[in-house]
Amino acid sequence: MLVNLREDDELIHLEKTMSDALEIISSGIRDSKYVVAFTGSGISAECGIPTYRGTDGLWKKYNPSIYANISYFLQDPSYYWNFFREVRYPLLKKAKPGKGHLALAEMEADGILRTVITQNIDGLHQEAGSSSVIELHGTTKVIFCMNCSHEYSMDEAYALLMDRCPPLCPECQGNLRPAVVFFGESLDPQVLRAAFQETGKCDFLLVVGSSLVVHPASEIPVAAKKKEASLAIINKERTALDHLADAVIHEEAGRILPQIVQNLKK
């Protein structure tokens, strides 16, 4: 169990017991007025959805410059749609919210957590019961026509895909795409603005399951620190911003978050 504590602007690395570490983060949350969570694919790894970059990351098998790049998608969407049919759809159909998602939803219901800002595109925070969710990278759960903008569910898109790859819009024969932000595309400025507004308001940012290397998402913890919010990171491995955090726990989200919820109920 690694805990970093920042005292008088000096980062002190301490070996602490699990309960010490949990209490440090829980009391920080308890003393804060506006708590925001920032999540990444690690929180969904426990639900069977692989991360991109971890040891078993998806990008080890699927090249992101083919499967997640907008130029490639526009040139030949069939690669993405094969990936959707073989990998994305079956994983998302099976996945249920994990202990980490449920703990954050409970923190919101208990009036402790204001918003979840997520890089994930799997909709599991909403399924867990979180109502204030900002999806920085969009969602795979909505598919829309690039010609007439008609929207389809994942199931509808999958059914169309069974008939034809790449699938076409039944309304106008336009090309379909998922409502996600591909590499090479900009984030929706309104969504990004909402995320930075929440970050600007928060006095405690709880980062969960992100390597914190994807920009501009990784600017969120940096912006929170600039506003003098406390920053806690719960991630299985080291992240790119551990050095900025007031407390870091290298552990699984589903193991730590429910215990924080229990501590906060005491």
Whichever of 141 and 225 has its CB closer to ligand NAD, that residue is: 141
Catalytic residue numbers, as ranges: 137
Task: Answer whether 166's CB lies under 8 Å from 174's CB.
Answer: no
Whichever of 198 and 242 has its CB closer to ligand NAD, that residue is: 242
**Smallest separation, CB 171 to ligand NAD (Å):** 28
Whichever of 151 and 237 has its CB closer to ligand NAD, that residue is: 237
| Binding-site ranges for ligand NAD (CB under 6 A) | 40-42, 44-46, 49, 51-54, 57, 119-122, 137, 209-211, 213-214, 235-237, 252-253
| Token pair belonging to 226 | 């600039």
Whichever of 177 and 236 has its CB closer to ligand NAD, that residue is: 236
**Smallest separation, CB 255 to ligand NAD (Å):** 8
- Locate the DSSP E strands across the chain: 2-7, 10-15, 35-39, 113-118, 133-135, 138-145, 151-153, 176-180, 204-208, 230-234, 247-249
- The alpha-helical segments, DSSP class H, found in 31-140 are 42-45, 64-67, 70-75, 78-83, 89-94, 99-109, 124-128
What is each CA distance from 132 to 7, 103, 164, 213, in whole angstroms? 32, 14, 36, 24
DSSP symbol at 85: I
**Smallest separation, CB 147 to ligand NAD (Å):** 25
**Smallest separation, CB 55 to ligand NAD (Å):** 8
Residue type, 205: L
Three-state SS at 217: coil
Task: Answer whether 127's CB lies under 8 Å from 95's CB.
Answer: no
**Smallest separation, CB 62 to ligand NAD (Å):** 11
Whichever of 40 and 77 has its CB closer to ligand NAD, that residue is: 40
**What end-to-end distance do the CA atoms of the chain give, in Å?**
23
